[in-house]
Structure 1
Amino acid sequence: MAESLLIDASLPKEEKYKALLPQIEALVSGETDLIANISNLVAALRQGFGFFWVGVYFNKEQQLVLGPFQGPVACTRIPYHKGVCGASYTRHETIIVPDVEAFPGHIACSGDSKSEIVVPVIKDGEVKLVLDIDSDKLNDFDEVDKRYLEQLMQLVASWY
C-alpha cells in the first residue's frame, strides 16, 4: 500500500524535487506495469507541487494519445505537429513556455492554463511519450524544473 508523499510545501523548488524523486523511485520500485507507474508518477508530481495539470501523451496511432493525468478534462489526441506537446515530440526536446498565449499553435485544452513544460521520454531514438505539465501561473517553469523532470523521464525510459 502506498503512503502519502512527504514534501514540505515551504521548501524551495529544487529541494522539493530532491525530496520527491527518491519517493517516486520507491513508489514504483518492483512494479512492472507501465500505466500503474505512470499513474503514480503523475499523481506524485501534482500532489508534490500543486501543478494545475499533469499528464502524459503516448506516441501511438500516428499521434499523441492521452494517458494517465491529474487535473481538469484534457485533449484526447494531439497531432505530432500541433501545440507544445507536438513540438516537443517533433524536436525531441524539452520545451518551456512562459506564456501559452504567446506560443504559436498552442492547443487550449483549458483556458486556465498559463504556462507549460513538456518533456519527452526518448528510448532508442524514439519518443515514447511526453510529460505535459501546465500551471495556472505565468512563467512558472524554469531550468530547475527542466533538469529534474528530465531526470525523472530517464527513469520512465527505463520502464520500456
Structure 2
Amino acid sequence: MKKILGIASVVLAGFSGMAQEKEAPAPATIREGKHKFSLQWIGWGEQFGSVEIKKVNDSTYYVKGEQRSEDSLDFASIDGNLIMLTPRRLRFEGTILTKVRTMNNNEVCDKTGTYTFFASGVRKYWRLQEMDNCEEGAAVDYVDIFF
C-alpha cells in the first residue's frame, strides 16, 4: 500500500509540474533610472514612453512618467509608488491616467488607488492586472513597465 501511494504521489507531482507556467528570471530589485512604458493603444516600438524609477526604501520605489502619441492627443501617465511583493509581482499605489481619443468618449480614464503589476511567463515587463478601461468592459488596456 505504501508503495502504491508513493508511486501515485510521484505521478501526481509530475502532472502538477507540467501545469506550471515557466517563468523567466526577473530582477531581485527594480533597476533605478529610466524604463520603457507603454499603453498598447498608443503604440510600441519607437512610440514607447518612459518612466523614471527611484528607490525609496528596501521594497518601495517611486515611479513617474508617460507615453504620448505623436500628436500628443493620446497619452498614458503614471505617478505613485511600486512595492515589490516578489520580483514578478508589484503593488502600485498612486494614479494611472489614460486618454485615447477613440475610447471612453475621448475622456481621461483615471485609475487612482491600489493596483497590481505582474510579469507572467517569460515577459520582460510588468503588466497592470486591472485592465478594464473606463468604458466598463468594452476595452482592455495593457499598461506595461519594462524591466
Q: TM-score when scaled to structure 2?
A: 0.31
Greater fraction of residues in strand = 2
Greater fraction of residues in helix = 1
Q: TM-score when scaled to structure 1?
A: 0.29
